[in-house]
Amino acid sequence: MSYGIPRRETHFEPRDPHWDAKVRDSFARQGIMGHLGATLADVWPGGCEIRLPYRPELSQQVGYFHAGVTSTVVDSAAGYAGFSLMAPHTEVLSVEFKINLLAPADGELMIATGEVIKPGKNLVITRGDAWVVKGDKVTHCAMMQQTLMTMHAK
Amino acid sequence: MSYGIPRRETHFEPRDPHWDAKVRDSFARQGIMGHLGATLADVWPGGCEIRLPYRPELSQQVGYFHAGVTSTVVDSAAGYAGFSLMAPHTEVLSVEFKINLLAPADGELMIATGEVIKPGKNLVITRGDAWVVKGDKVTHCAMMQQTLMTMHAK
Amino acid sequence: MSYGIPRRETHFEPRDPHWDAKVRDSFARQGIMGHLGATLADVWPGGCEIRLPYRPELSQQVGYFHAGVTSTVVDSAAGYAGFSLMAPHTEVLSVEFKINLLAPADGELMIATGEVIKPGKNLVITRGDAWVVKGDKVTHCAMMQQTLMTMHAK
Amino acid sequence: MSYGIPRRETHFEPRDPHWDAKVRDSFARQGIMGHLGATLADVWPGGCEIRLPYRPELSQQVGYFHAGVTSTVVDSAAGYAGFSLMAPHTEVLSVEFKINLLAPADGELMIATGEVIKPGKNLVITRGDAWVVKGDKVTHCAMMQQTLMTMHAK
């Protein structure tokens, strides 16, 4: 189900033929994704989508998704969007990000997406967004700008 | 144990005589804090410290604390620094934050601190930091600027 | 000339029937716009475009547009995008912004655009972008996320 | 005159023995500094201070220093703090920054400072601040987090 969320079509040429498998392997190694209950819904060259069903363990004091939880899934979605375009034998690291919380993240499902804006060799700049689904209402609840660094194996 | 981390002495006059109790109550209601294993180590008028022992459930793909986990505890530490100065019968909401990840968050304990820079009536501007402790080495691993909004009860 | 830059069509209902005149009046009062040589190329409800021809007085040390100059025109473009939706008898103030410099701003013309993402009553969240034109090459050189505050007249 | 602004003492070892001269040369080549009327008040290993007297050409619509002008001098102050620590035969570039405008920049003099937080070989992370002086009142009006990149000569 797309929930009407815009999927930005990217037109990047991946540097690694195994981009899909390496992103999925890396996601599976992120302990926090399993601990939160997040799943990798989709990945494509330069883009990624992560989904996270609500549960009380993810809340801030009023019961909504905590801003840090939102940040975690958007950071990973944008990070894997970037990692999908990185060369073989590299690792990805978040250098910094900035997130605006646009609306209370009140709902039963969070959908986080990331897309590459500039795929530099060392620095990759991305954008991320989050939507929260409550019944048949879908609310754009966060947007992010992020800088990633490619770690080259020695 | 202070681990040599600088505690910024603040000199704010709290608007709510029950600032200490209300911060502790609110922290206890944040489901994500318990789910991560974070504890409220200290709170004072305009400042807050949160501690989070490492476990594999908090990791990114290489085994360090995930950037989103770091963001979560720094966002809460800075948020509660701000909340400690808010008037009675208000709630706190993160409007936005920006975090720089200064070093890999590799260690057995994370210490997050927050302090108020400008305690406006509606908007409160804060700074946050995180350190990671590995054996006897303490590394400054993140710094944040954050904007909070005071939600006035209706 | 559009230079192929995407114009985001917005669908906002302005709260002030004189949105166009008030934005143009305010722009004319910004001393820095004239001092840099910037012009208000276009404004629509929730969107704005500013253009700035290059001259050596705008440069950083290598001769490109200075990052602060880029920030200035994107901050104003996004600020006026927000101001166009604000109620009568209000003023606009930048609370904070974050800008990524995507490429060296090397060219003879800078085009800055802003668009409203969330038009709250008090806080307005926007996005901004800048492009630099060099001959027939147009480069996306900056992107911004910005928070504005509506100042209500007393 | 210090105006009571805190000067953070840094304890960095510069990689370039000519750090002082190279910063001053680079500052002199920034066309925008002269165009705004900014002067390099001080530079030390890992730190920098820039001063900018007010004039109407620097204003936003209400007559205060424009947020972009504030950004320009803080970006340069923090950038030169970083550049002072970079190796010989390198150039400095702003990758991104985030600025909070803490108070209206209403006054006759702006003082911008920058200091290095993490002097990486490729990426340098800095903090910046601005104060505005009006009569005998000094107001902390902006704070910044910034990422710089070292450009190595080919």
Q: What is the mean pLDDT of each run of 10 residues along chain D (154 residues)?
A: 80 96 97 98 97 97 97 98 98 97 98 97 97 97 98 81
Q: What is the pLDDT of residues B56-103, one digit of tens each?
A: 999 999 999 999 999 999 999 999 999 999 999 999 999 999 999 999
Residue D42 lies in a domain: yes
Please tell me if residue C147 touches chain A, with a CB cutoff of 8 Å.
Answer: yes
Residue A6 pLDDT level (bands cut at 50, 70, 90):
confident
DSSP assigned state of D8: P
pLDDT band at A113 (very low <50, low <70, confident <90, very high): very high
D34 CA: distance to closest CA in chain A (Å): 31
CA distance B118 to chain D (A): 7
CA distances from B58 to A21, A22, A97, B47, D118 (A): 23, 20, 19, 25, 25
Instruction: For chains A and B, count residue pairs whose Cβ atoms are closer than 8 Å.
Output: 117
Instruction: Report if residue A12 sits inside a domain.
Output: no
Are C92 and C82 in contact, with CB atoms under 8 Å apart?
yes
From first to last of its 154 residues, what are the pLDDT tens digits of chain C?
Answer: 788 888 777 789 999 999 999 999 999 999 999 999 999 999 999 999 999 999 999 999 999 999 999 999 999 999 999 999 999 999 999 999 999 999 999 999 999 999 999 999 999 999 999 999 999 999 999 999 999 999 987 6
Q: Do B143 and D117 touch (CB under 8 A)?
A: yes
Contact call for residues C75 and C144 (beta carbons, < 8 A): yes
Phi, psi of B26 (to 5 degrees): -65, -45
The model carries a pTM of: 0.97
Report the residue from B31, B68, B73 with minimal CB separation from A59: B31
Residue C151, chain B, CB below 8 Å: the answer is: no
Query: Nearest 5°: phi and psi at B131?
Result: -125, 150
To probe the interface with A, which of B57, B64, B75 has the most A CB atoms within 10 Å? B75
Phi, psi of B110 (to 5 degrees): -110, 135
CA distance to partner chain B, nearest, from residue A15 (Å) = 20
In a domain, D37, yes or no: yes
CA distances for C124 relative to A32, B87, D44, angstroms: 33, 24, 39
Residue pair A3/B26 in contact by the 8 Å Cβ criterion: no
List of chains touching C (3+ CB pairs within 8 A): A, B, D
Residue D9 included in any domain: no
CB-based contact A71:B72 (threshold 8 Å):
yes
Q: How many CB pairs under 8 A join A and C?
A: 32
Domain, as residue range, for A124: 19-152
Looking at the domain assignment, is residue D102 inside a domain? yes
Tens of pLDDT along B38-47? 999 999 999 9
The token duo for B87 is 């008037």
What ipTM was assigned to the predicted interfaces of this complex?
A: 0.96
Rounded distance between C-alpha atoms, residue B81 and residue A141, angstroms? 24
> Can you give the C-alpha Rg of chain A in angstroms?
15
The total domain count for chain C is 1
Cα separation, D70 vs D58, in Å, equals 9
The pLDDT, as a whole number, for residue A154 is 64
B122 touches chain C (CB under 8 A): yes
Average pLDDT score over residue span A140-147: 98
Instruction: Tell me the pLDDT band of B154, cut-offs 50, 70 and 90.
Output: low
Q: Residue B153 pLDDT more than 90?
A: no
Q: What single letter denotes the amino acid at residue D58?
A: L
Among candidates D100, D118, D125 on the partner chain, residue whose Cβ is nearest the Cβ of B147: D100
Q: What is the rounded CA–CA span in Å between residue B65 and residue B55?
A: 9
In a domain, residue A38? The reply is yes
Query: Can you give the pLDDT at residue C11?
Result: 87
Residue A118 has pLDDT above 80, yes or no: yes
CATH of the domain at B81: 3.10.129.10
Are A100 and C143 an interchain contact pair (Cβ–Cβ within 8 Å)? Answer: no
Q: Is residue B12 part of a domain?
A: no
Q: Tell whether A13 is covered by a domain.
A: no
Neighbors of chain B by Cβ distance (3+ pairs < 8 Å)? A, C, D
The Cα A149–Cα A86 span in angstroms is: 10
